[in-house]
Structure formats: structure tokens, C-alpha cells
Amino acid sequence: MGIIEKMRLYGKRGFVTGAARGIGKCTAQAFAEAGADLAIVDMDIAAAEETAKEIAASTGRKIIAIKCDVTDEAQVQAMVDEVVEKLGGLEFCHANAGICINAPADEMTYAQWKKNLAVNLDSVFLTDTIAGKYMLAHGGGSIINTASMSAHIVNVPQPQCAYNASKAGVIQLTKSLAVEWAKRGVRVNSISPGYIGTDLTLSSPTLKPLIEKWNAMAPMGRLGTPEELGSICVYLAGDTSTFTTGADFGLDGAFTCF
């Protein structure tokens, strides 16, 4: 089998959390275009169903929508069970769901801190370990986690200590699971996007002045696009990355290089 054939995802089944829109939607599109069947997992089931219909129509793949609170262990287990039941198996997943609460540390409430960590880090642990248990018992698989360049730098001017800490935790969790499962057939990697021009980011009036500041600081002078993240995720889910585990891939246009 040639390299191009190995890069395709025909016969693979997976899911993406936080996939109704933004980065998750674009990686789900990329997985489907590469030949995978998958589940669009999101709290907003109406948006998830619409995204599933769009991707199915454009790719011809089997795409389902599942509502899930990824901070709830029982719901994550039920979601993985449903993926396996409806798609027939599970070879990859992308733990992408996340939030960002901007608040100065001396004003941030403990509830805000806990919510940020629950969605961004606890949910990744639940998603990875529950999906990972299935993969470990069924021949292996690939897990992709969304971290952030904020795991490597402190963003300015917005205050977001909880977000930064949670994403640093995602990278260390990724490495820890990768080492634990390296000889058992399950690979775990992370991506660390920089500032990405999702629909939500570009449509927010409060973010417009921040975008101007970010672009002024960026070596490329622009935001990334969600579509620019898809190819690395397809690579990680496929069979050309079988020696790649425990890695974090920076996708930030060199923003963290200085």
C-alpha cells in the first residue's frame, strides 16, 4: 500500500467532541473527506445535527450526531457506547471541546476556575480514558487532544490563567497516556493551535480590537483558519503516523517562537 492510500481513513470510525462548529467542525469535515465515518459530539444537539447533515451530504460518509456533556462520566461512557453501536467500532477520536473564561486572577471566582478546568482538562481525561479502554481492548487506535499555544506562552492582553493552566495540563496528560499505552497499540497526541479565525471569533465585537493586537504581534500577521488544522489531525488518525505518540503539534504561525 502506497503512502497516499495509508493516509486515507477508509474503514475507520471515530468521533469529535465540540464538533458542532469551529475547529471541531473543520476537523470532522477533514476526517470525513479522508474516508472516515464519525460522530459529531456536542452539547448543542441541534447544531450538531445540522453539522452532521452538512458533512454527510458533502462527503457521502456515515455521520451521526450525539448530545453529550463531556464533563459527565456517565454521559461520556454512553456516548462512546453509542458511537461503537451505531458505527460498528472506534479507531480514533478527537477530544476538542473547550471553553475560555477571561478574568483577572484576583477577580476570578473559584467556580469559574473549576468550570474552565472541568471542560478543558477533566473532560479530556474522561474522553481519553473511556475511549482508550475500548481501543486497548480492540486492537488499538489514535487519540488526538486539542491543547493550545496558551500551554506554552501567557497570552496578552487578555487575562486567562485558568485556560492557560488547563491547556498545559492537556499536554502533560497527553504525554502521560502516550507513555502508558505506547506498547499497547493506542497512540495519544495533541495539537496546539494559535489564534484561529472561527466564526465565533470573527463575529464577536468584543474580540475585534484583540484580533488587531494579535495580528500585530503575529509573525504571519494574521489568524489561522480552522481548515488549516485538518490535515495534521487526519495524519494523526491514520496509518502513516504509527510511530508518532506523545507529541504536541504547534499550529500557530510561529507565534510561540519568540
Cα separation of 79 and 228, whole Å? 28
pTM equals 0.95
Cα separation of 80 and 228, whole Å? 27
Q: Using an 8 Å Cβ cutoff, are 7 and 33 in contact?
A: no
Strand 186-193 to 141-146 pairing: parallel
Show Cβ contacts of residue 245 under 8 Å, excluding neighbours closer than 6 positions: 178, 181, 182, 187, 188, 189
Catalytic machinery residues: 148, 163, 167
pLDDT per residue, tens digit, the chain (258 aa), is 677 777 789 999 999 999 999 999 999 999 999 999 999 999 999 999 999 999 999 999 999 999 999 999 999 999 999 999 999 999 999 999 999 998 999 999 999 999 999 999 999 999 999 999 999 999 999 999 999 999 999 999 999 999 999 999 999 999 999 999 999 999 999 999 999 988 778 877 878 889 989 999 999 999 999 889 999 999 999 999 999 999 999 999 999 997
Q: Which domains does the chain have, with CATH numbers?
A: 3-250 (3.40.50.720)
